[in-house]
Every structure is written in C-alpha cells, then in structure tokens.
Amino acid sequence: MKIAVAGTGYVGLSIAVLASQKHEVIAVDILQEKVDLINKKLSPIEDHEISDFLANKKLNLRATTNPEEAYKNAEVIFVAGPTDYNSEGNFFDTSVIEKIFDDIAKYNKNAIVCIKSTVPVDYTINIKKKYPGMKLIFSPEFLREGKALYDNLHPSRIIVGEQSKDAEVIANILKEGSLDADTPVLFTSSTEAEAIKLFSNTYLALRVAYFNELDSYALKYHLDTRQIIEGVGLDPRIGSHYNNPSFGFGGYCLPKDTKQLLANYEHVPNNIIRAIVDSNSTRKDFLADQILAKKPKKVGIYRLVMKEGSDNFRASSIQGIMKRIKAKGIECIVFEPALKEDHFFGSRKVTSLEEFKRESDIIVTNRHHNELDDVKDKVFTRDLFTRD
C-alpha cells in the first residue's frame, strides 16, 4: 500500500516509520533540512526508537517537500501537522492542517485521509462540509515525546473515529506495524474519538496537578512530600504511577488540550476542568515565590526541554518559573545545549556547565540530573522519584 504522512514531528514521523515496515511511505514536510535528514536515515527529532529504526531497520521510507509527489498516488494519507490553542481567540488553530487538506483536495481526492493531529470536538464533522467527498477519518494519538515510536510499537489502544471499511484499513495499518498482538481496537464516531483524546490528556493533567498541589501543601507546612505520596499510592485504586511532583504540566499536548476541553465546556456546568487549567498557573506562582524567598541574585535555569530525551521547548513548565522570577527583576542565566541562540527571552545562555554552576546562586531544574550532584546544595527541584 502507498501511504503519505503529512508532518514529520514526533507524531508524523513515528507513524511514517511504523508504517514503512510493511508499506511504501512518503513523508512530507516544508523544512528541507528535516527532509534531508530523514533521507539520510537520520532522525530530525529526539526519539531513540525512531533513530534506531531509521539507522538499522529495513524501511520503505523517503521524504519530500513536494506535496504533489507525496499525495498524488497515495491510498492513505495520515495528517499529523501541528495544531495549537489560541488563548486570545479561545479556539484551536487548525490552519496548518487545513492547508494540508487543500493540497490533498488538489492532488488526490480518492485517498483515505486520517487525521492524527489533535482537534476540537466536532471538528471532523464540520470540516467534512468544507471538503465534500474527501474521506476524512479522525484517529487520536496517545504518544509521549521522545517515546513516540515506542508507544506506536506498544500501543495502549487504537481508536478510529468511524465505523467503516476505511476505518478498518487505518486500524490495520497501525496494528500490523506494532509489536503487540492483543492491542484493543475501538471504532467510534468521530466526535467521540475527538472527546476521548481531550478527556484522556485532561485526566493526565489532573493527576499531575493533584500531586503538585499535594507537594505545595507539604512545602508550605514543612512535611515530607515523598512519604505522603508513597502512602497515598499504596491504595491500589490510586497506584504509584504518574505521581512525581514537577513545575507543572507542559509540552505539546497537555496545556493546549486542557484549554480546548475547557472551551468546549462553555455551555456546560463544570468545576474540575476549570480548576485543572488554573492549577498550572497557581503551581508556578507558588514555586517562583519559594525561589524568590531565598533572595538569589542570579538564578540558573538548567535545561529548557520538557523532559530527558526531548528537544522540545514549547510550553515547558520551567519557562513559567523563569518568567516569573525575571518579572521580579532577578537575573537568570540558561544552560541548554539544545538551544541554538545565545539568549532565551533576554536571558544569557551559558555554554560551560562549570561556569553555569559557578555563576548561579540557585539552580532551578524540573528533574534531577547527575551532573548537578556536586552542587546539590544550590539545586531547587521538586523531583522526588526520577532516581528510583
């Protein structure tokens, strides 16, 4: 089968690699440098499994910047372009993927088009009116940054937002490339599939927010957060997963998806959904105050990326802490090897780790790193479980 994948971020590239084990796949992106790397069997993103598969597996995969080349003969097209939440307009910005739909309508009206980008509830039904005749199907992704291909190889579930032969084609492509034979497959309507994606991520954000607020309480009253979390987690109904305190939820998905779900609640009574969104700002306010109370003259921000093995700065929670500290007139410096520029939001990048340690009065890091062990008295983190 001939498959095209629009977008080579972590969602699109992981699908392209997954499918190219058994099918002919063309990935398309607007950035020539990303296309060149893929064609050299190098990953343009941080993902161990993607890098390994590109380098060592026999894949029928190539990349191009030419949408006509990618789409014209494709039987299936996966759309994995970026969408983002527009806070000012209170809506999801889907303009990038609609440009992709325009190209598909121009070059190939017969392909099955599977939307993997996150979209608002009711989006697929409404967008079909704009592109009559296009076989649009929504299928949510449940992938972690830096582990996207691993999560496609070992999916928790496959959900396809249509009950049809075309939907079965999509499910089979996703399932046959995975390594787990017993993955649950659920066929729903498009609207329910869209809701599943937003409610799943908002629940994860709820869990992050819960343990962060537990930690804020413990910090305020000088209690041992770890002991409390371990005791709470011994209840099997709660468990000991996804419980490590942090500076807040961030990255590609959780901030925008929680805000989008809240926007969908405009005419529905709610308390919890609003609280989840608000909790993220409250947490950053509280932690910034904790840092400022130590009266530092210069604060070092260690790593801007969301997590180990990621190259994504977007909406990383540590940025919120940094901006609050800077707003109080405190100088910040940044240690981030993945940062190409010399400054980040007006703060100087320090390339030498030893110089960074020496200059910083306090070093703020979302997660523990062994290379900070020699200055652990300077380190401010709420990470309690990474080293376990």
**Catalytic positions, please?**
253
- Taking the C-alpha atoms of residue 388 and residue 103, their distance in angstroms, rounded to an integer, is 49
A 10 A CB-CB count for 131 gives 16
Strands of the sheet with 112-115, listed across from one edge: 61-64, 24-28, 2-6, 76-79, 112-115, 135-138
Q: Which of 83, 191, 199 is nearest to 138 (CA)?
A: 191
Single-letter amino acid code for the residue at 71: Y
- Taking the C-alpha atoms of residue 197 and residue 142, their distance in angstroms, rounded to an integer, is 8
Q: How far is CA 75 from CA 59, 72, 114, in A?
A: 18, 9, 11
Please say whether the beta carbons of 245 and 310 come within 8 A. no
Question: Containing H/E element for 1?
Answer: none
Q: Which of 92, 90, 91, 61 is nearest to 78 (CA)?
A: 61
Q: Name the one residue in this structure whose structure tokens are 């599939």.
A: 193
Q: How far is CA 26 from CA 290, 320, 385, in A?
A: 50, 38, 41
